[in-house]
Amino acid sequence: MRRVEGDRIPNESVLYYVADPMCSWCWGFREARDEVFKAISEDVKIEFVMGGLARDSDEPMPEETKSYVKEAWRQVNDRTGAEFNWDFWENCQPRRSTYPACRAVIAAADKGPEMFDRIQQAYYLEARNPSDVEVLCSLATELGLDEGEFHAEIISAEVETKLQAGFNTRRRIGAYSFPSLVLESDGKVQFLCDGYSSAQEILYKWNETGQN
């Protein structure tokens, strides 16, 4: 069961997926992530916790930041084989702002994990800008959500509170690299990955947790 970060049941084991939909390493991690999710015990709950790479901003992305992000795309492609649509840099007005995309995952409620993946596809393969609320609302309708209700949710105080609660969760468990997979069980926190790792590396650590 995948779910966006929320209330925990006492004593249950939770695997936190700490990520940001506009993090290129999280995009490169997607296949490994799905392989891990399929392999772990069904008794372990999976929660998506939004990382929040960059605060809200209407300012165009500075050239220095563009160069940094483009280089990250190249590194992700070299290491993972993940594809990128470079038309994004010509067709969109990039902004260093990922909070809207994080809120969209939360606003999508039960479809949050699907929204996470759909945002990544739109950003990296379709050259659409998830920093724009209009784009996020369009993606929501593609998932069968009501556009008006979704727009109201994404700008709501409730979603903002949940976003901040997710930030508090990742601080509590000490997750500052994206992607991270962190298991919390019996009062203990164990990192399966702290930044990008292969599925094989993660599953080796998973087997050592004794959760199988």
**By the 8 A CB rule, do 104 and 40 touch?**
no
| pLDDT tens digit sequence for 168-205 | 999 999 999 999 999 999 989 999 999 999 999 999 99
133: which residues sit within 8 A by CB, 6+ positions away?
Answer: 100, 151, 154, 155
**pTM for this entry:** 0.93
| pLDDT tens digit sequence for 12-46 | 899 999 999 999 999 999 999 999 999 998 889 99
**By the 8 A CB rule, do 156 and 173 touch?**
no
16: which residues sit within 8 A by CB, 6+ positions away?
Answer: 5, 47, 49, 169, 170, 173, 175, 180, 181, 182, 183, 184
Q: How far is CA 151 from CA 112, 116, 136, 154, 155, in A?
A: 14, 16, 9, 5, 7
The two most distant CA atoms of the chain are separated, in Å, by 49
Choose among 89, 92, 76: nearest CA to 135. Answer: 92
Strand partners, 189: 184
Neighbours of 37 (CB within 10 A): 16
In angstroms, rounded to a whole number, what is the distance separating the alpha carbons of residues 165 and 175? 14
Angle between helices 133-142 and 99-107 (to 10 degrees): 30
For 9-209, give the CATH class: alpha beta
| pLDDT tens digit sequence for 76-103 | 999 999 999 999 999 999 999 999 999 9
Give residue 1's pLDDT: 38
